[in-house]
């Protein structure tokens, strides 16, 4: 059970978010509010109010970021009014920094993206409508969904998509994307010290600070050592974050010049070494080709390769069902590296098959929550294990949920690839962000990944693509904020 400090940290987090928004530019404050919330707040610590979404380490940072972004935009509007009242002499001030950018509408909004957001938010209503009946497994029964479940699910969907919407709005510039790369690399470097501590001493920090282990301790044991969990739910999530941070640092190493470039490259190498020590083969198999892609290929080629990978991920359930994914070859390759990991992979594939068979009974809108989409034996015992996020989404929300969720994640990379010839002179930074997004999406096939990070990266990439769709420069998003006290 969480200790008192876990709840104090959770509900005091908006104070830290407010301090960040006071001290940093809006894009930087937004990035760090979401990153620090994920990396430092306790897992499985939450408060459930009737008919409201759960308040936890995912929702509280998102709601805090939304509140303070709104307050900063409101302040920007007041400053704009003061500058207008001050006459033409001060008009030039309105062209600089987030004061101008905060009230600037998005360029070239995609109607398809807007439709997917609406369906993502309202889709749970159809899930409730088609799951009003109770289901029974032997002596075990699970109640049907009620309309108040639908209301709570809609609120949860709104909170889930907040990072996407905020990143789309406030990181829609080269400077905003570069700030995101920088923050991920710095956060990864700092987090790697805690990771090394737990690799040596075992995963204990969450237990020492918040009073409990967020996941099975034995699952983090690897050979004669351990995988670090730090303040995340599982060592696999730490490995994924290290992979993202590693490629971020490598990208900055090729973006910057001179000594600064060398420091970023050394950080990328350091993070790769820590990732190897983390003993996560899956993350390593993802990061190596993506790092090589960053080092070797030009931005246009990178974007094209990323689009091909992302399209495969988007179509993965159909390809899997049609037998076009070389499951046997992948299993044999895994067995040649590590028999234990191969056994784990086979176990996951078997569970995917039985979960997909269950999902086929409610293909369009899914089974909803409360474990209705899981598989039980005749004694009412749960015999299924959900690992890959894609199969979880299909089971709970059906094909509508899958298309809207993965569509919103995948489309930004596909859009930028389609426009790469038009944007070729500005592609390096967005190509790097698209590469990071691809890393998180590939991890959704075997694991549950870090959805918040995928939403954030996809929103930032989409915002940049929309803002630059006509090759027009948007105002710098990380200039020092202008305050009322300075007017």
Same domain? 180 vs 60: no
- Please check whether residues 282 and 308 belong to one and the same domain: no
Q: Is residue 20 part of a domain?
A: yes
Query: 450 vs 57, 120, 242, CA distance in Å?
Result: 12, 18, 12
Q: Where are the beta strands (DSSP E) in 129-266?
A: 135-137, 140-142, 221-222, 225-226
- Statement to judge: residues 86 and 120 lie in one domain: no
* Domain containing residue 23: 1-107+472-487
Residue 26 near residue 174 (C-beta atoms within 8 A) = no
**389, part of any domain:** yes
Same domain, 424 and 313: yes
Per-residue pLDDT of the chain in tens (487 residues, 90 and over written 9) = 899 999 999 999 999 999 999 999 999 999 999 999 999 999 999 988 876 778 999 999 999 999 999 999 988 777 666 666 655 545 444 444 444 344 344 445 788 999 999 999 999 999 999 999 998 887 788 899 999 889 989 999 999 999 999 999 999 999 999 999 999 999 999 999 999 999 999 999 999 999 999 988 888 887 778 899 999 999 999 999 999 999 999 999 999 999 999 999 999 999 999 999 999 888 999 999 999 999 999 999 999 999 999 999 999 999 887 778 877 777 777 777 666 666 677 777 888 888 888 999 999 999 998 889 888 887 778 888 788 899 999 999 999 999 999 999 999 999 999 988 877 778 999 999 999 999 999 999 989 999 999 999 999 999 999 988 655 444 443 433 333 333 2
Whether 191 and 318 map to the same domain: the answer is no
d(CA 124, CA 366): 9
Distance CA 126, CA 398 (A): 10
- 480 and 432 in one domain? no
Q: Is residue 149 part of a domain?
A: no
310 and 431 co-located in one domain: yes
Pairing verdict, β 225-226 and 221-222:
antiparallel
Count other Cβ atoms within 10 Å, centred on residue 190: 11
Domain count of the fold of the chain: 3
Q: Smallest Cα–Cα separation from 227: which of 269, 264, 199? A: 199
Q: Which one of 261, 296, 331 terminates a domain?
A: 296
Identify whether residues 315 and 403 lie together within a single domain. yes
Confidence (pTM): 0.89
Q: Has residue 456 been placed in a domain?
A: no
Q: Which residues of 327-346 are buried (b: 16+ CB within 10 A; e: fewer)?
A: eeeeeeebeeeeeeebebbe
Q: Is residue 268 domain-shared with residue 251, that is, in the same domain?
A: yes
Residue 288 and residue 304 in one domain: no
Instruction: State how far the Cα of 167 lies from the Cα of 477, in Å rounded to an integer.
Output: 11
Evaluate whether residue 99 is within a structural domain: yes
Residues 117 and 193 placed together within one structural domain of the fold: no
Q: Residues 41, 177: one domain?
A: no
Do the domain assignments include residue 94? yes
């Amino acid at each position: 059970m969480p200790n008192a400090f876990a709840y104090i940290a959770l509900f005091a987090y908006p104070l830290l978010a407010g301090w960040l928004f006071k001290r940093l530019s809006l894009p930087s404050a937004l990035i760090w509010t979401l990153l620090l919330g994920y990396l430092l707040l306790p897992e499985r610590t939450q408060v459930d109010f009737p008919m409201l979404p759960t308040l936890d380490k995912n929702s509280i940072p998102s709601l805090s970021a939304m509140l303070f972004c709104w307050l900063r935009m409101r302040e920007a509007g007041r400053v704009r009014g003061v500058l207008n009242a001050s006459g033409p002499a001060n008009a030039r001030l309105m062209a600089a920094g987030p004061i101008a950018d905060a009230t600037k509408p998005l360029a070239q909004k995609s109607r398809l993206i807007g439709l997917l957001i609406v369906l993502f938010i309202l889709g749970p209503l159809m899930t409730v409508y088609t799951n009003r009946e109770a289901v029974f497994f032997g002596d075990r029964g699970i109640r049907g969904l009620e309309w108040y479940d639908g209301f709570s699910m809609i609120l949860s969907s709104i909170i889930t998509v907040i990072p996407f919407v905020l990143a789309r709005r406030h990181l829609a510039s080269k400077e905003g994307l570069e700030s995101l790369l920088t923050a991920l690399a710095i956060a990864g470097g700092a987090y790697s010290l805690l990771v090394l501590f737990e690799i040596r001493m075992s995963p204990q920090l969450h237990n020492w600070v918040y009073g409990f282990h967020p996941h099975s301790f034995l699952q983090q044991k690897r050979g004669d050592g351990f995988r670090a969990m730090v303040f995340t739910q599982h060592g696999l999530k730490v490995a994924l974050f290290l992979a993202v941070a590693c490629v971020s640092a490598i990208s900055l190493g090729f973006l910057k010049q001179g000594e600064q470039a060398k420091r970023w490259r050394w950080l990328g190498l350091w993070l790769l070494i820590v990732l190897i020590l983390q003993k996560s083969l899956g993350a390593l198999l993802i990061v190596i080709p993506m790092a090589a892609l960053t080092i070797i290929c030009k931005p246009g080629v990178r974007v094209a390769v990323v689009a091909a990978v992302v399209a495969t991920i988007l179509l993965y359930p159909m390809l899997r069902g049609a037998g076009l994914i070389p499951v046997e070859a992948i299993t044999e390759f895994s067995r040649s590296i590590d028999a234990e990991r191969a056994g784990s992979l086979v176990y996951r594939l078997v569970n995917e098959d039985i979960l997909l068979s269950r999902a086929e009974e409610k293909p369009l809108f899914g089974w909803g929550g409360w474990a209705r989409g899981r598989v039980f034996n005749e004694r009412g015992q749960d015999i299924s294990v959900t690992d890959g996020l894609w199969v979880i989404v299909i089971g709970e929300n059906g094909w509508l949920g899958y298309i809207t969720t993965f569509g919103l994640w995948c489309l930004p990379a596909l859009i930028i690839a389609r426009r790469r010839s038009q944007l070729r002179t500005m592609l390096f930074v967005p190509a790097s962000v698209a590469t990071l997004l691809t890393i998180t999406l590939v991890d959704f096939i075997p694991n549950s990944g870090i959805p918040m990070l995928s939403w954030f990266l996809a929103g930032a990439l989409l915002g940049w693509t929309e803002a630059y769709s006509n090759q027009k420069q948007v105002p710098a998003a990380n200039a020092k904020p202008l305050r009322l006290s300075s007017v």
